[in-house]
A and B are shown apart, each in its own frame.
Chain A
Amino acid sequence: MTDLEHTSDSALVPKDWTYAPAPEARDIVTLAERYGHFVGGEWIDAAETYTTISPATEEPLAEVGQATPAEVEQAVTAARAAFDDGWSSVSPSERAKYLFRIARVLQERAREFAVLESLNGGKPIKESRDVDLPLAAAHFFYYAGWADKLEYAFPNQRPRPIGVAGQIIPWNFPLLMLAWKIAPALAAGNTVVLKPAETTPLTALLFCDVLRQAELPPGVVNIVTGDGSTGAAIVTAGGVDKIAFTGSTEVGKAIQRELAGTGKKLTLELGGKAANIIFDDAALDQAVEGIVNGIYFNQGHVCCAGSRLLVQESIYEPVVDKLKRRLATLRVGDPLDKNSDVGAINSKQQLEKIRELVAAGEEEGAEIYQAPCRLPEKGYWFAPTVFTNVAQSYRIAQEEIFGPVLSILTFRTPDEAVEKANNTPYGLSAGVWTEKGSRILWMAERLRAGVVWANTYNRFDPSSPFGGYKESGFGREGGRHGLEPYLQLDESEAFGG
C-alpha cells in the first residue's frame, strides 16, 4: 500500500487499489436460535418455522416463524384490542414521546442494527451504517413531532386514526421500510401488524426489543414473520382497516384486486424503471458518480434505482468510458467489510431473476460489460453490469431487474429524453444531470415520476414525500403527505378511501 508511482499527470497514486480486510465486528449482535411472533407485547411460539440465512455466505442465522392465518388473526386481535383499550386515547403528546424514545433507542443501538442488517440482507455495512440506520431513526424522530400537531397539518379535516394498519415491507431496506411504515402509523394514532420480508426478518425482530425498551404499550406494534402467504393473510384479515404495501407491482395489483369493494384504505409503493438522464453540459465526473450511486447502491435492490441511463449522444463515448473505469474500482465483497461498495444479492431467487434478465439482454442483442472482480465462492453474488446497444423494446429496458444492472440508451434532444424516460408503465423516480438551471426545471415538469433528483440521485429524507405515478403505486411516504394514508379526514375522498 505504501508503494506509490508517478502517473502521467505526476500525481502520486497507490500502485494498486487492493484494501486490507476491515470487517466490522459481528459479536455485537446476539441472535436467538429460534424466534416466534411478537404479539400483544409478548413472544408467541410459531407453529411453523423456516431458516433465515446470510446471503453472503448461505450460513443459517436463526429459525423464524412462518405465520399461519390463525397467528396473523391473533396479531390483528391484539392490535385491535390495543387500539380500543387505550392507544387511541393516549394523549397525542404522550404518543409523540413514545416515538421520540424509539428514535433515541435506535440511535443508541445503531451499530448493532447495522451489523444485523448487513448480515441478514447482504448490503454493505457502510450503507446500513450510514444510510439505513440514521434514516430509520430520523423517520421516528420526524413523525414523533407530528403526533400532537395533526390539526395543523389537516386544518378543517378533523384528523383521527383509522384503527389497525396491516403493513407488508420488502427486503431491500428492511429496518428503514419498517420505520417508513410504523412511524407515521403510530403518529396518527393507529396500531400495527407488520410483516417483514421473508428473507430479512431479523432487524424487525430485534426492533421488538427496542419497543420493550421504549415501553410502548403491548399490542400497539405486532410483528409476524413469514412468506407471501402470511402477507396475504394480513391483507384479507377482517380486523385490518388499512393496508400499506411496498414491493413488486405484480403483488401490488393483486392486493388492489383483493381489496376491491372492501372500503379498506390502501397505499402501494411498487416497482420502477427509472431514467437517469445525462445532458452534454453536465459535470461529467459528478454525473458518473451519480450513475454509479443510482444503480449500484444497495446492489441495485432499490425500487427507484436509475436502471435506464439516457445519455445525450454527443457525450456517449466519454460517459461510457468513465463509467467502465469507475466500475473497475468498485469493491464487491463481504457486506460486513467496511471497504465493500457492493454486497451480496439478497436471495437465491433474486439472483436467478437477475441472471434470467441479463441472459435475455444478451440474447436480444445488447452488449454486456462486467467489472473485473473476483466474486466469493459461497453466497449469492452478481458483478456490477452495464449493457450498451440497448433498444427500448428489450426486456432489460422495460422490466425492473432489481439488481446491479444498468441499461444505457441515448437521446439527442430534451424532448426525446422526456419521451424515452416516460415510455414505461412505471413512474417512481427520475434523474437529470445538466448545469442549465432552466432545463432542470423544464425536465422536472415533464418527467412523469414521483421523485426527480437533479444533479444528485437516491437521496431520502423523512420530510420529503416519496411515492409513484402510474403503476409505481399511489400514496406518499414521508413528509406531511405521509400522514394522510393513516388518518380519517373529513371531506377527503382521496384514492384508497
Chain B
Amino acid sequence: MARLPVKKTYKLFIGGAFPRSESGRTYEAEGQNVARASRKDARDAVRAARAAFPKWAAMTAYNRGQVLYRTAEMVEARTAEFAELCSGRDEVERSVDRVVWYAGWADKFAQVIGSSNPVAGPYFNFTVPEPTGVVATLAPDEPPLLGLVTRIAPALTGGNAVVVVASETHPLAAIELAEALATSDVPGGVVNILTGHREELAPWLAAHMDVNAIDLAGADGSAPDLERAAADNVKRVVRGRADAQSPWEIAAFVELKTVWHPVGR
C-alpha cells in the first residue's frame, strides 16, 4: 500500500509565528483549506509589525541587505515547491533575482535618494531617507509569487515592516513565502501575511491609525474607498504595479528627513 502523504495546514504568519485565524474560519483556495483572517487578526498583525519596526529600521543598511539576500537563498532552495504554486520555475527565478537586486540596494539607495544641501548660510544641511513605518500591502493576484515579492521587497529594503493581504485566489505561494521567511534571518513581525477575503481585511488596514502607508497593488475596484479611508491618518497611498523594479519603488516607502546644524569655530 502506498504511503499516505502528510498534508500541510495553511495558517497565517503573524509576529514570526504561524497561528490559525482567531475566528476559527477557513476558506478553500487552490484546492486547500486556507485560514480566513479576521479583523482582529489584522489588528494583531499591525501590532506585531509596529513592535518589529524599530529594530528592523535601526539595523545597519549592510546588515539589512544581507538579511534580504538570505531570503533569496531560502526561496532559491525551495524552487521546486514554489514552482508548483505559481506559473513555474521562471517566475521563481525572477522572484529570487528581484530580491537579490533589492538586497544590493539596501546600502545604496540613501546615496541616490538623499542629498547634501548647499544652503545660503553657515549651516551643514543634509537630507536622508528613513522608512515610513508600517506598510499594509494588498498583494496582486497575478503573478502569485513575483507579484508579492515585487511589492514587499522595496518596502523591506527601505526598512519598513509590512502586513500583507495575500492574493485571495492564489494564497499558497504567499504562505510558502512565509515559511521561507521564517527560516531566514528576517526578524519576526517584520513581514506578516494574512490570507482571507480581501474585502473583509483591506478596509480595516486602510483605516488603521497605526498603519503609515498602504500599497493598493491588489485593490481592484475598491481602491477609491480604500484611499478615502486612508486619509484618516494621512496615509501614504502607493498604487503599486505587480511587476516593477527600480530604486524609485523604494522611494515610495520612505520619508525624507532634513537635518540642520550651524557651522562655527
**Inter-chain contacts of B58 with A (CB < 8 A):** 445
A489 at the interface (CB under 8 A from B): yes
Identify the interface centre among B132, B231, B246: most chain A CB within 10 Å of its CB.
B231
**Inter-chain contacts of A476 with B (CB < 8 A):** 256
Contacts A260-B228, A467-B256 known; A270 to B236 CB distance under 8 Å? no
Task: Report the separation of the CA atoms of residues A320 and B42 in the bound assembly, to the nearest whole angstrom.
Answer: 46
**Inter-chain contacts of A467 with B (CB < 8 A):** 256
Please tell me if the beta carbons of A256 and B115 are within 8 angstroms of each other in the complex: no
Chain A residue, CB-CB nearest to B247? A491
Stretch at the interface among B10-18, B82-90, B121-129: B121-129
Task: Report the separation of the CA atoms of residues A459 and B258 in the bound assembly, to the nearest whole angstrom.
Answer: 11
Q: How many A residues face the partner with a CB closer than 8 A?
A: 50
B229 → A minimal CB distance (Å): 8
**Inter-chain contacts of B230 with A (CB < 8 A):** 256, 260
B56 → A minimal CB distance (Å): 14
Please tell me if the beta carbons of B231 and A253 are within 8 angstroms of each other in the complex: yes
Contacts A138-B120, A252-B234 known; A444 to B115 CB distance under 8 Å? no
Task: Report the separation of the CA atoms of residues A495 and B216 in the bound assembly, to the nearest whole angstrom.
Answer: 11
A488 at the interface (CB under 8 A from B): no
A481 → B minimal CB distance (Å): 6
Question: Out of A256, A450, A461, A464, which one reaches B234, CB within 8 Å?
Answer: A256
A49 at the interface (CB under 8 A from B): no
**Inter-chain contacts of A472 with B (CB < 8 A):** 234
**Inter-chain contacts of B77 with A (CB < 8 A):** none
Please tell me if the beta carbons of B127 and A456 are within 8 angstroms of each other in the complex: no
B244 at the interface (CB under 8 A from A): yes
B239 at the interface (CB under 8 A from A): yes
B232 at the interface (CB under 8 A from A): yes
Please tell me if the beta carbons of A494 and B261 are within 8 angstroms of each other in the complex: no
Render A467-497 as a binary contact track against B, CB cut-off 8 A, 1 for contact: 1011111101001110000000101111111
B100 at the interface (CB under 8 A from A): no
Please tell me if the beta carbons of A495 and B260 are within 8 angstroms of each other in the complex: no
Please tell me if the beta carbons of A491 and B223 are within 8 angstroms of each other in the complex: no
B153 → A minimal CB distance (Å): 14
Chain B residue, CB-CB nearest to A261? B224
Please tell me if the beta carbons of A479 and B259 are within 8 angstroms of each other in the complex: no
Task: Report the separation of the CA atoms of residues A451 and B246 in the bound assembly, to the nearest whole angstrom.
Answer: 26
Q: What are 29 A-B pairs at a CB distance below 8 A? A: A138-B120, A253-B234, A254-B231, A256-B231, A257-B231, A260-B227, A261-B224, A261-B228, A440-B261, A444-B259, A451-B260, A452-B257, A453-B260, A454-B261, A459-B121, A459-B123, A461-B123, A464-B260, A465-B117, A465-B256, A466-B258, A467-B256, A471-B234, A481-B256, A493-B241, A494-B252, A495-B236, A495-B238, A497-B239
Q: Which 5 A-B pairs have the closest CB atoms?
A: A261-B224, A260-B227, A256-B231, A495-B236, A461-B119
